[in-house]
Amino acid sequence: MKLLIERNEILGSLTNVMRAISPRNIIPILNGVRFDLTKEGLYLTASDSDLTIKTIIPKEKIKNIEKTGSIIIQSKYLLEIIRKLPNTDINIEVVDGLKIIISTENTIFNLNCLNLEDYPHISLEEIKKPIIIESKDLKNIINQTIFAVSTQESRPLLTGINFKVNGNILECIATDSYRLAKKTFILSEEYESFDLVIPGKNINELDKLLSLEGNVEIHPFINKILFKYDNYSFQSNLLSGSYPNTSNLIPTDFEIILTTTLSEYYHAIDRAALLTQNKDKNIVKMETAEKTLMISSYASEIGKVEETVTINKNDSKDLSISFSSKYMLEALKTFEEEELLILLNTDTKPIILKSTKDESLIQLILPIKTY
């Protein structure tokens, strides 16, 4: 393998494929990046066996393909080396089978490589009619739900996002059993139905890979899912098992309906959270009155805080309810419209947040009992 390529042409691709390499990986060969130089261009592949990212730098972007071939390069040093080289032409050449020379005019790196035969075979299959979605829409869906996945391995399925397609409706749900985020998105055509769970950590990496331009192709399978974007193939394993049915968790009737200003409400909660007793849950209390919402918290020995937020309320009924300010703030960040609906029943029933104009996003937060 021997090629000449401008440093900036390889840096971005390498940065992106390396998102698949896990720092906690214990299989030595998977710490390597696979280089396959063909007549079409340079393929780069990285995998942690759960997630695989592959890309091609097409031949038009390579100065010279002198000799095709393949090699596995230790990723630990490679990215830093390329990053610290000036933006000039870089020579990349395999010597003696298991060594690679990366050189510019004044620099020669000589790196030991990993054995090509040890690299696992990874097949990236496609379906005939993949789901097509704009990258910015997919990023939006991810960011409105991903924060609610569980970080606890005790219920592995909840560490993933539930992706469902039914006709032209894409539904994404994430929950850690204390709060739930649900986003519904109308696709431009009808597709074959599926219902699967993608690991949250992999979706996080997908989000970093996607920019706001262009379309993403989604190819679902029984045990894996492939996203194609730009020159990238991004394949994730799925979490096995049936995602819990969450549709009956979200109430549809509400006794108390409040309308408020998102930013005002957000900052009030943010300040009230400063003086909370329990640093894990950051509990604050919210009490409705005719035209105002009183948000309060206290920390013994420190002090207390009271915030007043203007609201509109549907009914003369009032309620006092406590919840985790951390969960509330994370949920509030997913809304863009300034007018926010807060839907309540009793102090033990879920709090539902919606935008007044856009029904596609629902955020649910369970209250916390305080005595």
Q: Report the C-alpha gap between 360 and 345 in whole angstroms.
A: 21
| Comparison of 189 and 280: residue with beta carbon closer to a copy of itself | 280
Contacts of 79 (CB under 8 A, 6+ apart): 14, 15, 18
Q: What is the greatest pairwise CA distance in the chain?
A: 82
Supply the minimum distance, in Å, between the C-beta of residue 290 and a copy of itself: 16
* 89/287 Cα distance (integer angstroms): 65
CB of residue 297 vs a copy of itself: minimum separation in angstroms? 10
CB of 86 to a copy of itself, least distance (A): 7
Q: How far is the CB of 145 from a copy of itself (least distance, A)?
A: 27
* Residues making contact with a copy of itself (CB under 8 A): 74, 77, 80-81, 84-86, 99, 106-112, 267-268, 270-271, 274-275, 301-309
| Residue among 77 and 370 whose Cβ is closer to a copy of itself | 77
Residue with smaller CB distance to a copy of itself, 262 or 275: 275
In the numeric block, the tokens 């990874």 are attached to 122
CA-based Rg of the chain, rounded to a whole angstrom?
25
CB of 349 to a copy of itself, least distance (A): 27
Of the pair 68, 104, the CB lying nearest a copy of itself is at: 104
Residue closer to a copy of itself, measured from CB, 99 or 317? 99
CA 365 vs CA 140, 176, 267: distances in Å: 20, 10, 18
In angstroms, give the least distance from the CB of 295 to a copy of itself: 10
Contact call for residues 89 and 103 (beta carbons, < 8 A): no
Q: Which is nearer to a copy of itself, 187 or 274 (CB)?
A: 274
Measured between its terminal Cα atoms, the distance across the chain in Å is 70
Backbone angles phi, psi at 217, to 5 degrees: -100, 135
Phi/psi for 243 (5° steps) reads -65, 140
Tokens standing for residue 69? 């071939």
**Which residues share a beta bridge with 57?**
42
* Rounded least distance, CB 115 to a copy of itself, Å: 14
Closest C-alpha to 146, from 106, 180, 196:
180
Query: What six digits make up the tokens of 369?
Result: 């009992």
Comparing CB distances to a copy of itself, the nearer of 208 and 304 is 304
Structure tokens at 10: 């390889």
